[in-house]
Amino acid sequence: MFILSFVLEDWAIHELVPSPRRRTSAMVLVASSYVTWTYQTHTFSNAVETLVVLWSIVMIQRILDNRVRPTTHTSFYNPSGSSIVQLLGTNPIITPLNSIRYNTSAANLSLHGLHPPYQHLVASLPLLLGPALLLLYHIRKPTLSILSAFSATILLSLIPHQEPRFLLPAVPLVLSSVRLPSSAVAKRYWFGTWIVFNAVLGVLMGIYHQGGVVPAQLWVGQQQQARGTGLTEVFWWRTYSPPMWLLGGQEVLTVDLMGMNASEMMERLTPAMGDCGQQGSRSVGLVAPTSSVELDIWMEETRQDLLFELLWMTRRHLNLDDLDLEEDGIRGLLSRVVGRRGLAIWKISRVCADSQ
């Protein structure tokens, strides 16, 4: 993915920015952005989407510049001899339509977490672009790239579930369209701010954001392999999807609860523990960020029905996908996400009368 990003992304920017002077500036901004050397060097689906979007815009730009003449074909190869009408009558799977149907349903997106419609504008874009947003005021004439970036941002803001990574394709589009300050002093101060911003965010997003997922999955697999009596079923909540191959072939039932709310999570988790006297060799674990304050209610000492036993924990984990400015406020958000940072694995068991 590093090679693809290095070649195809730079090539696309070379095509989209005709001026050699502005092209050099665009290449420097994109290359120095933490988004490029964290997200774009990994095999995220959003990283692949970034390359697809860039080259789609390159093709459109070539057509507009009359460098490529579009050719319309009125027929297509079909060895079976079936007509289009017959094919449509077989209930074909139309992926974009299915995607729209899924992402416009609040019931589906509640599994991942719901956000206010302004989340992308007030949180996602500043998190991805930082001081580069200030350069938008210097744009004299909107380009195809900048129009594509902001029209997509507006459309994605209509979807209730919003994460910064959804806007990754917009980053090179914006950075290749902005102009640096003309004043030498302003340019010097801006570059200083840009360097600090990317250094800090590079550490946060490259090391700490969801940084405990891989170590946690490795620990689960190692415990099962070493003892043979590790967790038999593990529920993952509010994390990236756990990489199954890290289990090393160990038979551990893994359930990804994504970002569903706490009450729904416990409704899924509680039946897995079985009723009193029926647990047998079943051992259920929960992997969740320690910044999820909803778990505090279930861990209170006054509760007599469930027992949370901490098995493993790392502090090198930030859950930046769970940002709720509307409910927490800035101070409360920092206190919860940064102050209570970490990822933990608990063994959860039901407390029965005969075990008390």
Beta bridge partners of 275: none
* pLDDT greater than 50 at residue 76: no
Per residue in 211-265, pLDDT (tens digit) is: 999 999 999 988 876 665 578 899 999 998 898 988 888 888 999 998 888 888 8
Q: How far apart are CA 4 and CA 10, in angstroms?
A: 10
Give the range among 8-12, 135-139, 198-202, 296-300 with minimum mean pLDDT. 296-300
Per residue in 293-323, pLDDT (tens digit) is: 888 887 775 566 788 889 999 999 998 777 7
DSSP 3-state of 169: coil
**For the residues 266-278, what does the mean pLDDT come to?**
79
Give me the sign of the Cα torsion angle 62, 63, 67, 72: positive
Q: Which helix H or strand E contains 284, and what residues bound it? A: strand 284-289
Q: Would you say 290 and 340 are in contact if contact means Cβ atoms under 8 Å apart? A: yes
User: Sorting pLDDT into bands at 50, 70 and 90, what band is 77?
Assistant: very low
Task: Give the pairing of strands 343-350 and 253-256.
Answer: unpaired
Q: What is the pTM of this model?
A: 0.73
Per residue in 153-199, pLDDT (tens digit) is: 998 888 877 888 889 999 999 999 998 888 999 999 999 999 999 99
* pLDDT greater than 90 at residue 287: yes
Query: Whose CA is closest to 157, among 102, 112, 117?
Result: 117
Percent of residues, the chain, with pLDDT higher than 90:
28
Per residue in 80-124, pLDDT (tens digit) is: 555 555 555 666 666 667 776 776 666 666 666 677 788 888 888
Instruction: Enter the DSSP assignment of 177.
Output: T
Give the range among 11-15, 203-207, 318-322 with minimum mean pLDDT. 318-322
**Average pLDDT of the chain, as a whole number:** 82
